[in-house]
């Protein structure tokens, strides 16, 4: 089963579904509403990351419950969408970027399922390379880039962006972590479509607003949905190293 975790611009994914069933999935971390969709003769589980009405801010998202809910309904592959600012002029607003590494500057988030057990997962390839290739075949994307996750909900300062660039960051957002590592702990393939909504603070010529984020996502909505639909068509149910991420990780 394919899992989709989406924000703005992805809520309309149900429009091509042959059937939609909403379930409340119980997890040890809270209950999650998951929409089970039949799309192109495949089963897709969809979670709106910010809930209905975009009501949950980034720093309040229950990442563990979302990932565990997808695991509980049988998801083996997750594609997430994340709105980001760009620190790389070769990744301009409107681009779809598939990251291959991250820097985590988020704070006070529950970042592991293993609070009472020693588990060290390997994140040499934090984003699934198998899903990266499928996404590359499914639309016009930029492959590779380092995603910097900040705590939010405020935007970053120019000095912070300068620091992130010096550390090798390309994109900056608030929702990518710990989602990617939690998926790996649950041995689920995971990759992200980063929608570049603007240049980051100090690079952008104007002050940053949430309106421009929504405007860019709306402008690219049809292309984003087409990319996701093509991914669903092209995805195959096969074994991947992500499904064995706990091998050698447990003490």
User: Which residues does 99 contact at the CB level (< 8 Å), separation at least 6?
Assistant: 127, 144, 145, 146, 147, 170, 171, 176, 192, 194
Q: Domains plus CATH for the chain?
A: 74-244 (3.40.50.1580)
Average pLDDT across the chain, whole number: 92
Q: Quick: pLDDT tens for 30-70.
A: 999 999 999 999 999 999 987 666 678 889 999 999 999 99
Q: Model's pTM, two decimal places? A: 0.94
Spatial distance between the Cα atoms of 208 and 226, rounded to a whole number of angstroms: 28
**Per residue in 128-144, is it b (16+ CB within 10 Å) or e — as a string?**
bebbbebbeebbebbee
pLDDT for 230 equals: 96
User: Which residues does 163 contact at the CB level (< 8 Å), separation at least 6?
Assistant: none
Residue with tokens 């994140």: 123
Say whether the peptide bond before residue 153 is cis (omega within 30 degrees of 0).
yes
Statement: residue 105 has pLDDT above 70: yes
pLDDT for 214 equals: 77
Residues above pLDDT 70, as percent of the chain: 96
Statement: residue 224 has pLDDT above 80: yes
Token pair for residue 76? 């083996």
- 55 forms bridges with which residues in the sheet? none
How distant, in Å, are the alpha carbons of 18, 22, 66, 159, 167 from that of 4? 16, 14, 11, 34, 30
**DSSP assignment, residue 228?**
H
Spatial distance between the Cα atoms of 104 and 91, rounded to a whole number of angstroms: 20
Token pair for residue 136? 């590359």
Q: Quick: pLDDT tens for 125-165.
A: 999 999 999 999 999 999 999 999 999 899 999 999 999 99
Residue with tokens 């689920």: 188
Closest Cα partner for 104 from 181, 32, 35, 45? Answer: 181
Spatial distance between the Cα atoms of 176 and 164, rounded to a whole number of angstroms: 16
Mean pLDDT over 212-221 rounds to 82
């Amino acid at each position: 089963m394919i899992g989709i975790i989406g924000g703005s611009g992805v809520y309309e994914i149900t429009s091509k579904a042959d059937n939609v069933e909403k379930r409340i999935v119980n997890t040890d971390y809270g209950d999650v509403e998951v929409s089970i969709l039949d799309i192109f003769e495949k089963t897709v589980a969809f979670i709106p990351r910010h809930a209905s009405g975009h009501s949950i801010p980034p720093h309040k998202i229950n990442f563990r419950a979302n990932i565990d809910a997808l695991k509980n309904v049988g998801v083996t592959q997750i594609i997430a969408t994340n709105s980001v600012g760009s620190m790389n002029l070769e990744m301009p607003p409107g681009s779809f970027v598939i990251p291959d590494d991250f820097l985590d500057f988020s704070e006070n988030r529950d970042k592991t399922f293993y609070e009472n057990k020693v588990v060290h997962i390997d994140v040499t390839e934090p984003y699934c390379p198998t899903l990266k290739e499928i996404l590359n075949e499914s639309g016009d994307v930029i492959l590779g880039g380092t995603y910097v996750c900040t705590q939010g909900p405020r935007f970053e300062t120019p000095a912070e962006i300068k620091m992130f660039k010096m550390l090798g960051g390309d994109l900056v957002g608030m929702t990518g972590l710990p989602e990617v590592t939690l998926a790996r702990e649950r041995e689920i393939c995971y990759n992200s479509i980063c929608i570049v909504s603007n240049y980051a603070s100090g690079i952008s010529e104007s002050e940053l607003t949430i309106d421009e984020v929504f405007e860019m996502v709306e402008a690219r909505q049809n292309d984003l949905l087409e990319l996701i639909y093509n991914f669903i068509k092209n995805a195959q149910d096969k074994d991947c190293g992500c499904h064995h991420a706990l091998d050698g990780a447990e003490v």
